[in-house]
């Protein structure tokens, strides 16, 4: 097994090749990856079944198992995401702005790769492909470390990436997969070779990375996402959005964890909404007002307002107005995704202006805060820190800028 230093140094050397690769070369690799995903679907599902079997033995929650599972439709979706990245404009070398100074110098800013990116993640094997594809498109080398629960799936997907790189004549070390958990701490010390670390997983993993890394980290601690149903909300729309935000995939970071509902609409809307949620096996914990309206709601405690359940559990609070809803979000939110359901244009504008999460939805589910849904093809993560990126990170967010200055002999006096 190669040492971490050898792996990091190999990534740095390979980055030179991918950083200078033509758009056509990178796109050929991506299309080859997509084709290999499709042709290897049966094998991928077989390897994934080994992980699912182990997950059952570890008694992982149903939501965690869902994050882990690969199906033909999910593999096809991953392949389409890779193809969409191939169709996108290449950010590398793009001149973002150019101006001519009074002395005749032409000053521009060019997008360039960040360099080597380490991505440490849990559970979701699609991250292997999404991260590799986005890093390659943006000219970055990447070192991946997935969780043990997806070991066999990750290895099979990494093999597809290696085959695609080799087929198109690029170094296979452009993308490397670590399998030994004991290597993570040493990896986080390699600031000489690695430019950025992106952790994707539970809050514990992200805090560990932030506390132990000598390399800059883009953080996404958790997704405590809210849906606020305003008093003017269309009841059918509000019900459909709340159900989708909670139950469509409860184990992902953009699922709703807390429902806020205006006191004037709650008596009419909440009983029926709770009935629909309970049909989907959602456990509901609420404030005293919510409990007085629906007796089957369990009592929420203070910890529930800060919880990222990643499961079929929902906290509900009845609020007096939009002010109290925004105040609750400011206190308990995680800067991830917030939604308002309203027909009041003034309230929607206030919500957009005052809620500082990475994505703010008006009359739409929180589940749309996703790279694929927002036109990025895929995402490497959803940043909840405002430096260097905020929200879903596509290939554009994996670049930096350098100044390019063109002169005709000017000297500074």
> What is the b/e burial string over 193-232, where b = at least 16 CB atoms within 10 angstroms of the residue's CB?
bbbbbbbbbbeebbebbbeebebebbbbbbbbbbbbbbbe
Residue 205 and residue 122 in contact, taking contact as beta carbons nearer than 8 Å: yes
CATH (residue range 4-218+393-406): 3.40.605.10
User: What pLDDT is attached to residue 62?
Assistant: 80
378 pLDDT band, cuts 50/70/90, is: confident
User: What pLDDT is attached to residue 380?
Assistant: 81
385 pLDDT band, cuts 50/70/90, is: confident
User: What pLDDT is attached to residue 16?
Assistant: 95
Question: Read out DSSP for 296-348?
Answer: TSEEP-GGGGG----SSEEEEEEESSHHHHHHHHHHH--SSEEEEE-S-HHHH
> Domain 225-368 is of which CATH architecture?
3-Layer(aba) Sandwich (3.40)
Q: What percent of the chain has pLDDT over 90?
A: 84
Residues 16-44 have a mean pLDDT of: 97
Spatial separation of the C-alpha atoms in residues 361 and 366, rounded to whole Å: 7
pLDDT per position as a tens digit, 337-377: 999 999 999 999 999 999 999 999 999 999 999 987 888 77
Residues 57-64 have a mean pLDDT of: 84
User: What pLDDT is attached to residue 376?
Assistant: 78
pLDDT per position as a tens digit, 281-294: 999 999 999 999 99
- Please report which helix (H) or strand (E) contains residue 176, including its range: strand 175-178
24 pLDDT band, cuts 50/70/90, is: very high
Report helix angle 41-57 to 23-39, nearest 10: 70
Comparing 216 with 222, the larger pLDDT belongs to 216
User: What pLDDT is attached to residue 1?
Assistant: 62
pLDDT at 389 over 90: no
pLDDT per position as a tens digit, 163-210: 999 999 999 999 999 989 899 999 999 999 999 999 987 778 888 999
User: What pLDDT is attached to residue 113?
Assistant: 97
pLDDT per position as a tens digit, 69-111: 999 999 999 999 999 999 999 999 999 889 999 999 999 999 9
User: What pLDDT is attached to residue 175?
Assistant: 98
Q: What percent of the chain has pLDDT over 70?
A: 100
**All structural domains of the chain with their residue ranges:** 4-218+393-406, 225-368
413 pLDDT band, cuts 50/70/90, is: confident
User: What pLDDT is attached to residue 264?
Assistant: 98
pLDDT per position as a tens digit, 281-330: 999 999 999 999 999 999 999 999 999 998 999 999 999 999 999 999 99
């Amino acid at each position: 097994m190669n040492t971490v230093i050898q792996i990091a140094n190999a990534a740095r050397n390979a980055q030179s090749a991918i950083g200078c690769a033509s758009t056509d070369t990178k796109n050929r690799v991506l299309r080859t990856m997509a084709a290999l995903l499709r042709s290897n679907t049966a094998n991928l599902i077989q390897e994934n079944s080994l992980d699912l079997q182990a997950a059952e033995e570890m008694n992982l929650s149903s939501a965690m198992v869902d994050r882990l599972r690969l199906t033909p439709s999910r593999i096809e979706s991953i392949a389409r995401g890779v193809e969409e990245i191939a169709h996108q404009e290449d950010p590398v070398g793009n001149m973002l702005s150019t101006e001519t100074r009074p002395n005749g110098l032409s000053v521009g800013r060019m997008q360039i790769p960040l360099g080597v990116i380490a991505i440490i993640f849990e559970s979701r094997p699609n991250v292997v492909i999404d991260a590799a594809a986005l890093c390659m498109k943006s000219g970055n080398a990447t070192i991946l470390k997935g969780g043990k629960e997806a070991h066999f799936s990750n290895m099979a997907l990494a093999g597809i990436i290696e085959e695609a790189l080799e087929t198109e004549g690029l170094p296979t070390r452009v993308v490397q997969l670590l399998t030994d958990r004991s290597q993570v701490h040493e990896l986080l010390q390699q600031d000489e070779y690695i430019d950025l670390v992106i952790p994707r997983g539970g809050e514990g993993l992200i805090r560990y990375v932030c506390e132990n890394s000598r390399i800059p980290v883009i953080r996404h601690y958790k997704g405590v996402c809210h849906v606020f149903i305003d008093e003017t909300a269309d009841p059918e729309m509000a019900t459909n959005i709340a159900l989708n935000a909670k139950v469509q995939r409860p184990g992902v970071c953009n699922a709703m964890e807390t429902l806020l509902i205006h006191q004037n609409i709650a008596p009419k809307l909440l009983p029926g909404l709770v009935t629909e949620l309970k049909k989907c096996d959602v456990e509901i914990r609420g404030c005293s007002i919510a409990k007085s309206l629906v007796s089957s709601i369990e009592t929420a405690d203070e910890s529930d307002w800060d919880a990222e359940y990643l499961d079929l559990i929902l906290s509900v609070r009845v609020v007096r107005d939009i002010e109290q809803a925004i105040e609750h979000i400011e206190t308990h939110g995680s800067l991830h995704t917030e939604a308002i359901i309203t027909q009041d244009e003034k309230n929607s504008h206030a919500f957009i202006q005052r809620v500082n999460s990475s994505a703010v939805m008006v009359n739409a589910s929180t589940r749309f805060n996703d790279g694929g849904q927002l036109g990025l093809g895929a995402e490497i993560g959803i940043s909840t820190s405002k430096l260097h990126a905020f929200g879903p990170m596509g290939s554009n967010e994996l670049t930096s800028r350098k100044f390019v200055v063109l002169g005709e002999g000017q000297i500074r006096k």
